[in-house]
Chain A
């Protein structure tokens, strides 16, 4: 690193520029990763936390994916599925909740007791009651004992719980009977099972790890954001590779001098790679810090920072950036020392 560190010190402007570009790309990838996680949480966190091993829904019509919001199991299917213990009904509907002139969107889960969320305060919902999450309760200015209007029906808030979100709206939990009262007696859309589902005509079973397949728009939204992240990582590799290609071309003679002086290929590799990693690590540290600060500081956009959500883009950037630079490192270590003798 003898030459590498002094090169960086000497060409501060150039290295600051490429460092800034790396920082900016890292910031974008980390922020996008946080946004992807945040949107995924907002879209599907409520169904992701459902207990059970699989979920049975109404089969979709040809050409469409099964969707929780469109599913309606008939009475015979529900009866067949709930004959044994370990099966819980789940109805889903998106509506409005109102109280004292304030209104908000709300997804109501009508669920059997086994599916009820962890309570923070108050009680599980009975007939004519609902559990909201803390965010909804605060926005509406309600708490346990308050009365809210959901789809024109009065429900009592029995407790505040970890209900999470579905399709970008907060979720409220009520009993299946109360839920049917909100949706004019519709059947529930799904049954959550703790055992393998029997083959029933007109139904589809989804393993719980693929539950997001039943959330409309989730996979297209998620894959779009992941694709943008992938493109940003690829662009980063190109930018870093291009910078070091130009940088290497400019100092080919100096590398040849080092080889002519007896510098080993390992010496040049260590020096060159060390320089690449130094610039990448510093740029990424700045960019990732800014990305985390944004994710933690912004409340108007759903952003969630997780260890994996931070590590993957940072490691991906480092790996792809190094790969881009390695294309030129090959040139560094194979430089012909004879160049040093040419006039």
Chain B
């Protein structure tokens, strides 16, 4: 399995006490599965993404990414896991203002100390697949919101990740553009067999059940997975609701 969260609990300092962001959450996502996590603001969606992406170490439980247990790793080792196995599509486009669309994608190569020249063709192919071949030389301020999000997707796939974590990809887009982004994501990750977790508060934009939508949805509230729905063949994707 590309991602396994087992009995994961995460708390944050909150005044004199601690706030529980994730409460004994289990989640397993296999290669090629496209699953969504939804819920209201503060339900724990982003915390789940942060834990899965090794950006935060949970208080308890285990997180396994491509067979690597990440909870006991150092910050440098976790960075290596992210570099080698995980792609992020951020809520804000989070593009680097000084880089062109092509350079944004090639940044993933530079972080891996690869030759940008040798990977240029592949970067251009990715931009072509997200419909931005003609905008390769444009910087973020010269792109629309949807185009920036598509660059974000191309960049996240450049490192050939086995796990893709997507944070509110449609929040800055209108409904139609949001659906197109989700459809594009679905096509790209299924083609590549990438395990994908997409976090969103807008279930409609995820188009559950359609061929271009997510395979399964987990609803979260108060740090717990409270409901699971399988829209397509659910093999491999397993959400375990928090007991009690």
Nearest-Cβ distance from residue B4 to partner chain A, whole angstroms: 20
From A337, which residue of chain B is reached at the shortest CB distance? B55
The stretch from B95-103, B130-138, B202-210 touching chain A is B95-103
**Chain B neighbourhood of A48, CB < 8 A:** none
Main secondary structure of the interface of A (DSSP, over half): helix
A338 to B82, CA, bound (A): 13
Point out the residue from A257, A260, A337 that lies within 8 Å of B96, measured CB to CB.
Answer: A257
Instruction: Tell me the A255-273 residues at the B interface (CB within 8 Å).
Output: 257-265, 267
A253 to B75, CA, bound (A): 18
Q: Does B129 contact A (CB under 8 A)?
A: no
Point out the residue from A7, A11, A260 that lies within 8 Å of B88, measured CB to CB.
Answer: A260
Q: Does B83 contact A (CB under 8 A)?
A: yes
Size of chain A's interface in residues, with CB distance under 8 A? 24
Q: In which size bucket is the chain B interface?
A: 35 or more
A343 to B97, CA, bound (A): 17
Contact pattern, B 118-145, Cβ under 8 Å of A = 1, otherwise 0: 0000000000000000000001000000
Q: Does A77 contact B (CB under 8 A)?
A: no
Q: Does A60 contact B (CB under 8 A)?
A: no
**Are B167 and A341 touching (Cβ within 8 A)?**
yes
Instruction: Tell me the B60-80 residues at the A interface (CB within 8 Å).
Output: 75-76, 79-80
Point out the residue from B75, B76, B82, B92 that lies within 8 Å of A260, measured CB to CB.
Answer: B82
Instruction: Tell me the A302-343 residues at the B interface (CB within 8 Å).
Output: 337-338, 340-341, 343
**Chain A neighbourhood of B139, CB < 8 A:** 10
* B49, B96, B108 pick with most chain A CB within 10 angstroms: B96
**Chain A neighbourhood of B82, CB < 8 A:** 260-262, 337
A261 to B167, CA, bound (A): 14
**Are B88 and A338 touching (Cβ within 8 A)?**
no
Point out the residue from B46, B98, B167 that lies within 8 Å of A7, measured CB to CB.
Answer: B98
**Are A264 and B79 touching (Cβ within 8 A)?**
yes
Q: Does A3 contact B (CB under 8 A)?
A: yes
**Chain B neighbourhood of A254, CB < 8 A:** 94, 96-97
**Are B96 and A262 touching (Cβ within 8 A)?**
no
Q: Does B23 contact A (CB under 8 A)?
A: no
Nearest-Cβ distance from residue B40 to partner chain A, whole angstroms: 14
Nearest-Cβ distance from residue B166 to partner chain A, whole angstroms: 11
**Are A253 and B94 touching (Cβ within 8 A)?**
yes
**Are B79 and A343 touching (Cβ within 8 A)?**
no
From B56, which residue of chain A is reached at the shortest CB distance? A338
Nearest-Cβ distance from residue B232 to partner chain A, whole angstroms: 27
A117 to B110, CA, bound (A): 64
Interface contacts beyond A262-B84, A338-B56: sample of 15 additional A-B pairs, CB < 8 Å, sorted by A = A3-B107, A253-B92, A253-B94, A254-B96, A254-B97, A257-B94, A258-B96, A260-B55, A260-B82, A261-B82, A263-B79, A267-B111, A338-B50, A341-B53, A341-B167
User: 4 shortest A-B CB distances, which residue pairs?
Assistant: A262-B83, A10-B98, A262-B82, A6-B98
Residues on A lying within 8 angstroms of B by beta carbon are: 2-3, 6-7, 9-11, 253-254, 257-265, 267, 337-338, 340-341, 343
